[in-house]
Amino acid sequence: MEVPFLDLRVQNRALKTEILPLWEEILDLAGFIGGKHVNALEEEFASACSVNHCVAVNSGTDALRFIFLALGLEPGDEIITVPNTFIATTEAISQAGGKIAFVDVDPGTYNMDPAMIETAITPKTRGIVPVHLYGQPADMDSILTIADKHGLWVVEDACQAHLAEYKGRKAGSMGVAAAFSFYPGKNMGACGEGGAVTTNDADLAAKVCMLRDHGQSSKYYHEMEGYNGRCDALQAAVLRIKLKHLPAWNEARRKNAKRYFELLHETDGIILPRIQENSTPVFHLFVIQVDKRDMVQEALRKVGVQTGLHYPVPLHLQKAYEYMGLPLGSFPMAETCARKLLSLPMFPELTEEQIAWVSGNLKKIVTER
C-alpha cells in the first residue's frame, strides 16, 4: 500500500468548487493585493484565535520578522528560543537585529523546557519565543511566569499550531503577539505563500501593518522603511474557505493521532510523544522516537510509507550558526530529537487502513531489527 506523508490533492479536489468562483471574481475585478478577502480573513482569523487583531502577511517568516521589528530590538538584545525548530524562527530574530540564545527542549513534548530558561537569561535578554512545535502548545503557564518575573515579552511561534489550545486558551492569544504560517503543507495552508500576526496590542498591529507595506501609513506616505510583505487576495480567499473547515480537519488529525497512539503504545523501541496536560494539540505532525531512525525510514519507504524528518540537524549545529560556537553536546535533547525523531504520515484524510499499514509495518521493522 502507498501511504504518502502528506497529500494535499485530496483537499484541493474537495475545495475546488468553493475556491474557483472566488478566484474568478478576483480575476474579474483585478483586485489582487489587499481588499475584501484580506480584510475578512483578518477578522475571521482574529476571532478564531480569540484575539483583537490579525494582520495577514506574506509568510510565517515575515510574521515573525515584523513582530520582532515592531517590538524594536536594540543591537545585542537577546531572544531565547529552541534549537529544534525551522530556521525561520531564528532568521527572524537575527534579521530584526536580535541575538539568538538557545535553550534545550523537554524530552517528552520536544517543546521549550521551561526549567532551562532561567539559565539563559542575562541583562540583555528581551524576550522568549516558544515554538508550538508539531501543533502542540508549549508549557505556556511556566514560560509566561518566568517572563513576567524577569520583565520579558513572549512571542509565540504558532506557525504549526492553528487553533491548538492550552488550558482553554488558543495558540496565538497568550503572548504579546504570535506568528502563523499558511505555507501549503500547514494545517491551514494557502495555494502559495501566506502568514499572519495575531495580537491584542493595537499599536503593535498598526506597526506590523506598516511594516508589511513599505512603512506606509497612507499611500506614498512612509513613516519608516518597511517591506513588501502583503497578503494577496487569491490566497486570502482560499484561506477563508479553509478556515471554515479547519476545526473538522484538526479533529480528524486528532483522531488519526489517537489511532497511532492505540496501535503503537507499549511497543519496545518506539517512544511516543507526551501530550501536555490540559492541552488540545492539532498534530501538524505526528513524531515518534526510534533508534537507527534512518534505517527504519528506509525500511518504511520499501513498503510504500513516506515519512519526514523534523528536523535532521538542530539549529546550533547548522553551518549558518557555526559562528555561535556551540559544539555537539550543547543541547542534548534537541540533538537526540535530530537523531531519533521520525514524522509519520499525518493529514486529515489519512484512512484507517493507511494508519494500520504504517503502524503494523513500523512495529515489525522495529521488533525485527
Ligand X SMILES: Cc1ncc(COP(=O)(O)O)c(C=O)c1O
Query: Considering beta carbons, is residue 178 or 365 the nearer one to ligand X?
Result: 178
Instruction: Output the smallest distance, CB 345 to ligand X, in A.
Output: 18
C-beta closer to ligand X: residue 33 or 202: 33
Beta carbon nearer to ligand X, 176 or 362: 176
What is the closest distance, in whole angstroms, from the C-beta atom of residue 67 to ligand X in the complex?
A: 12
In this structure, the dihedral spanned by the alpha carbons of residues 61, 62, 64 and 68, taken in order and rounded to 10 degrees, is 140
Contact 68, 93 (CB under 8 A): yes
Would you count residue 157 as binding ligand X (CB under 6 A)? yes
Using CB under 6 A, count the residues that bind ligand X.
Answer: 14
Q: Which residues contact 255 (CB under 8 A, 6 or more apart)?
A: none
Binding mask 25-64 for ligand X (x = CB under 6 A): ----------------------------------xxx---
Strand order across the beta sheet in which 99-102 lies: 53-57, 195-199, 177-181, 153-157, 125-128, 78-81, 99-102
The least distance separating ligand X from the CB of residue 328, rounded to whole angstroms, comes to 23
Q: H helices of the chain, where?
A: 8-29, 36-48, 60-71, 88-95, 114-120, 140-150, 202-211, 233-264, 293-302, 332-340, 352-368
AA identity, residue 152? L
Q: Considering the rule CB under 6 A, would residue 181 count as an interface residue with ligand X?
A: yes
Helix runs in 151-232, H state only: 202-211
Q: Which grid cell is 68?
A: 520582532
Minimum CB separation of residue 24 from ligand X in Å reads: 26
**Residue range at the interface with ligand X (CB under 6 A); choices 42-50, 157-165, 216-224, 244-252:** 157-165
Pick the closer one to ligand X by CB: 226 or 229: 229
The interface with ligand X within residues 97-156 (CB under 6 A) comprises 131
Task: Give the nearest residue (CB) to ligand X.
Answer: 60
Cβ count within 10 A of residue 242: 23
Q: Check if the beta carbon of residue 265 is closer than 8 Å to that of residue 273.
A: no
CB closer to ligand X out of 89 and 359: 89
Closest CB to ligand X among residues 66, 357: 66
Angle at 336 between CA 83 and CA 296, to 5 degrees: 125
235 sits near ligand X (criterion: CB under 6 A): no
What would the x/- binding string for ligand X be over residues 72 to 91, using CB under 6 A? Answer: -------------xx-xx--
For residue 338, count other CB atoms closer than 10 A to its CB.
20
Applying CB under 6 A, among 66, 183, 286, 347 the residue interacting with ligand X is 183
Residue 195 in the binding site for ligand X (CB under 6 A): yes
Comparison of 166 and 183: residue with beta carbon closer to ligand X: 183
String of b and e for 189-225 (b: at least 16 CB within 10 Å)? bbbebbbbbbbebeebbebbbbbbbbebeeeeeeeee
Binding site for ligand X (CB under 6 A): 59-61, 85-86, 88-89, 131, 157, 159-160, 181, 183, 195
